[in-house]
Structure 1
Amino acid sequence: MYHQSIKIIISLLITVNLFATENVPPEAKPPIIFSKAEIINASTTRIPFKVIDQLIIVEVELLDQEGNFIIDTGSETLILNSVHFKPTRKHRDDGKSKSGVHNTIENVKEKHLDELSIKDLSLEQLNADVIDLSHIEKTKKIELLGIIGYSVLKDFEVFIDLHLNQITLTKTDKQGNRLSDKVYAETINDSIDFKLKQHTIVIDAYVADKKVKFGLDTAAEYNQLNKNLDSEILDYFYPSKELKLTGASGKKAKVLAGKLYRVKLNDSIYFGPMKTVLTDLKHMKSAFGVQLDGVLGFEFFAQKRTIINYKKRKLYFIKYPVIKP
């Protein structure tokens, strides 16, 4: 939720284990591997994840290192932790500041890799930044190699399933159609359209009967609500305590935390109370060209098994199974 960045066009290589092609000799070890990925078919892979402090974490091997990456739809690029990866060459905008969602991220450098490949699925000219993420490692007590963002995810349909703790990536064509029909065992029961502002997923929603505009971010540990909203909307936010949150630059800010009630996307898609923090989101417009009333994060995905299709600009929902006593 805190790690957005301005584009730096580079190449990188990500591949799932056992994804050999005729052009790659068997002994050639690809630079990055989703360590525990399961191959479903030629265009689909399923990746298990763990949840650490409401962050979705996948295990990855990259440049002879193995460790944790955060899945973050709120990040524009692939981000590498400068603690573990050093820039390979000087660049003309080496060390310049980047605009973040919550603050300015300073001292961002470029890392040069070759290409991204998940199995035989190849994506070229992705974006990556090298940023010091040591403060996240310290606060979450994990070793963090980096963050996987929009530039990696955009050419896939992405099923984020917090019921089974797994992400399914399936390749799509230019129109967003899946290349395979045999992807999901579950049935899609609802959907909504969204807008894509730069890399940010923007959805229309309601708090009670008041219309609001929310961003969707898998790495937002708590939902965020703009403290400058109409009081009739803020009436449904029930504060309970104060929290200290740390941004991508390592700066800390105090926010009021509580629960937000009466959120719905339409008359058939609604939510129970969600953990939410009250904060100032005025920087959103300058950073992304859109003014958001709030951000929906982990709490959203905890209640909705969600499929993101970037090319169709649609979210699809799969019901949680009914647990019988």
Structure 2
Amino acid sequence: MHQSIKIIIALLITVNLFATEDIPLEAKPPIIFSKAEIVNASTTRIPFKIIDQLIIVEVEILDKEGNFIIDTGSEALILNSVHFQPTRKYRDDGKSKSGVHDDIENVKEKYLDELSIKTLSLENIDADVIDLSHIEKVKRIELLGIIGYSILKDFEVFIDMHLNQITLTKTDKYGDHLSDKVYAETIHDSIDFKLKQHTIIIDALVGDKDVIFGLDTAAEYNQLNKDIDSEILEYFYPSKELKLSGASGKKRKVLAGKLYRVSLNDSIYLGPMKTVLTDLKNMKSAFGTNLDGILGFEFFAQKRTIINYKKRKLYFIKSPIIKP
């Protein structure tokens, strides 16, 4: 299956980004983010909504307008074959891709000439075409597709759950901004990460034990490998069983609860996070590395996070203090 479609397949991003100007029909690029706000020549701010702890944006693509999921755990741009029928531009009929929990069959590809993010654009894009109808059924939403690493890697990505918006800033080959002024907020901390294939890998601690986590915006809950060290499991407090749907539509039972005492270093701490205990045995084939777990929505709900793929850095913005 495509890496972007994980067990907690609560993926849903309403890709409603840019394109407010009056563009002739024949000049419109394949993808338009129609609700985006231009900050400067290289920065765009995109509102999103949360559906079942998934980040959803609205997008206009190939004469259709609808919901996309923003998924840092996905390798590529994915189009839902329910809404985008194969044409002569599709290739690689019948190939399959492996993912965290199972396989997705009949993955096809579609070539797009250009993706437009208001004044920003990316050219020569490949999209995987996969049947996502089971996600639509579970989430009760029409889903056009998923936006993953192949699109996000050329930007610094600020995911702000406080304001429900994503800021995309174009960077040069070193990861530096192309514009001087990007954020009104002040960065107060940062950590390094590794990039394995398309997956963000961070070193963390549970209690005083070292762990390796993948970072994934489309994980509805955090995931913890059920075969992890028993001393780490002491900080996982189970409360119930859940049935979760994988990328292929298969359901499985997982133990759900909260994970305590997670920190990124000696100064960055996280509060208790909703977590599921599950089998991550396919993680290495999907992401190219062994992981102890995945940090998802629960992480981003606590940390206003900036991802700089080229610098391999996560930056954190302070959340405002909400007075009762």
TM-score by length of 2: 0.92
Query: Is 1:37–1:47's contact at 8 Å kept on the other side of the alignment?
Result: yes
Counterpart in the other structure of 1:236:
235
Quote how far apart the aligned CAs of 1:18 are: 3.8
Percent identity of equivalent pairs: 84
One-letter code aligned to 1:56: I
Q: Secondary structure at the match of 2:253?
A: strand
Counterpart in the other structure of 1:112:
111
Q: Deviations over 1:276-313 (max 9, x none)?
A: 00011121112222100000000000000000000000
Counterpart in the other structure of 2:265:
266
Query: Is 1:3–1:247's contact at 8 Å kept on the other side of the alignment?
Result: no
Counterpart in the other structure of 1:169:
168
Counterpart in the other structure of 2:8:
none
Taking the aligned partners of 1:203 and 1:35, their CA distance within structure 2 comes to 33
One-letter code aligned to 1:319: K
Q: For 1:91-240, what aligned pairs fall within 5 Å after superposition?
A: 93-240=92-239
Query: Is 1:76–1:199's contact at 8 Å kept on the other side of the alignment?
Result: yes
In the comparison of the two structures, how many residue pairs are matched? 313
Quote how far apart the aligned CAs of 1:111 are: 1.8
Taking the aligned partners of 1:258 and 1:321, their CA distance within structure 2 comes to 27
Taking the aligned partners of 2:24 and 2:236, their CA distance within structure 1 comes to 57
Taking the aligned partners of 1:84 and 1:310, their CA distance within structure 2 comes to 31
Taking the aligned partners of 2:288 and 2:117, their CA distance within structure 1 comes to 32
Compare 296-305 and 173-182 and name the one that shifted more.
173-182
Quote how far apart the aligned CAs of 1:167 are: 0.2
TM-score by length of 1: 0.92
CA separation of 1:91 and 1:118: change in aligned 2, threshold 3 A: closer
Taking the aligned partners of 2:39 and 2:295, their CA distance within structure 1 comes to 30
Q: Deviations over 1:241-299 (max 9, x none)?
A: 11111111111111110000000001111111000000111211122221000000000
Quote how far apart the aligned CAs of 1:28 are: 2.4
Counterpart in the other structure of 2:51:
52
Query: Is 2:207–2:262's contact at 8 Å kept on the other side of the alignment?
Result: yes
Counterpart in the other structure of 2:18:
16
Counterpart in the other structure of 1:8:
none
Counterpart in the other structure of 1:313:
312
One-letter code aligned to 1:231: S
Greater share of strand: 2
Query: Is 2:90–2:111's contact at 8 Å kept on the other side of the alignment?
Result: no
Taking the aligned partners of 2:230 and 2:295, their CA distance within structure 1 comes to 19
CA separation of 1:15 and 1:56: change in aligned 2, threshold 3 A: closer
One-letter code aligned to 1:145: L
Q: Secondary structure at the match of 1:301?
A: helix
Q: Secondary structure at the match of 1:109?
A: strand
CA separation of 1:90 and 1:116: change in aligned 2, threshold 3 A: closer
Query: Is 2:221–2:274's contact at 8 Å kept on the other side of the alignment?
Result: yes
Taking the aligned partners of 2:294 and 2:281, their CA distance within structure 1 comes to 12
One-letter code aligned to 1:235: E
Answer yes or no: is 1:61 the counterpart of 2:60.
yes
Query: Is 2:111–2:126's contact at 8 Å kept on the other side of the alignment?
Result: no
Compare 300-309 and 98-107 and name the one that shifted more.
98-107
Q: Secondary structure at the match of 1:233?
A: helix
Taking the aligned partners of 2:147 and 2:89, their CA distance within structure 1 comes to 23
Give the superposed CA RMSD: 1.8
Counterpart in the other structure of 1:9:
none
Quote how far apart the aligned CAs of 1:35 are: 1.9
Taking the aligned partners of 1:125 and 1:282, their CA distance within structure 2 comes to 34
Query: Is 2:33–2:116's contact at 8 Å kept on the other side of the alignment?
Result: no
Gaps of 5+ in 2: 5-15
Quote how far apart the aligned CAs of 1:19 are: 6.2
CA separation of 1:275 and 1:255: change in aligned 2, threshold 3 A: same
Quote how far apart the aligned CAs of 1:124 are: 2.8
Taking the aligned partners of 1:80 and 1:253, their CA distance within structure 2 comes to 25
Taking the aligned partners of 1:82 and 1:27, their CA distance within structure 2 comes to 24
Query: Is 1:3–1:74's contact at 8 Å kept on the other side of the alignment?
Result: no
Taking the aligned partners of 2:213 and 2:25, their CA distance within structure 1 comes to 46
Query: Is 2:157–2:168's contact at 8 Å kept on the other side of the alignment?
Result: yes
